[in-house]
Amino acid sequence: MIKLPDAKNPRRDTPPAELTRAALVRAALKLFGRQGFDGTSTREIAAEARANIGSIAYHFGGKEGLRAAAADFIVETIQTVAGQALGNSQAAAPPDPEAARAQLFAALERMVGFIVAQPQAGEIVQFVLRELSHPTAALDRIYDGVFEPTHRRLCLIWEQATGEPAESERTRLTVFTLIGQVIYFRIGREAVMRRMGWHDIGSAEAAKVVAVTADNLSAILAARKKQK
């Protein structure tokens, strides 16, 4: 697993090679997301990471290997965040509908807390958006490691919460809708702040987003219950 120590306060017991590797991944994640893979040179990455340009080939075999490492870091990061709220893909389903609904709300809150409020999420989302626009093998790693298993897990929890089949078209689209409303607050961050008169989106603002998205989830669950 690639760990990215705080660049300002690196752990004294972290080997220099690991610090260099982590700094290169951090720089690649930032620059590939901002400028695109083709628009970013290895020299720029090395300068951003304050590393020797030869360290890219040494640690990753080249620029393409560094992109794969950045994708793997995204997978590991989101798996950790998602796992805290959903459990892993092999975890047992919630024992009853009430527990499943509670887990859906917890997952929504966790998503907002990370995607909307954490600065690191901005670089991750930018990188992923680039990959979604121009898919490469890096997107395959992210899809297989995060998108598909996390979405499938949420669909299973939705089935337990509502009785709707997990793999039905309606369930899959509903789960995409729940995720999409959260993602907007990251990709539309600047527009949201201007319209809301916010100077930033921190924990206080994220809590307000959680309240509204939770209301949306409650309304969808209530509507499904009436349709039974």
Digit-coded pLDDT (tens) for 56-65: 999 999 999 9
Output DSSP code: residue 144: I
pLDDT, tens only, 72-94: 999 999 999 888 878 766 677 78
Q: What is the pLDDT of residue 5?
A: 39
Per DSSP, 41 falls in state: -
| pLDDT confidence of residue 226 | 85
Q: How far apart are CA 74 and CA 113, in angstroms?
A: 16
| Token pair for 80 | 């950790």
Reported pTM: 0.86
The CA distances from residue 76 to 104, 124, 221, in Å, are: 21, 12, 31
Residue type, 20: T
Structure tokens at 55: 């360290």
Banded model confidence at residue 99, pLDDT cuts 50, 70, 90: very high
Which two tokens mark 148? 């598909």
Q: Please state, in angstroms and rounded to a whole number, the distance separating the CA atoms of residues 97 and 221.
A: 11
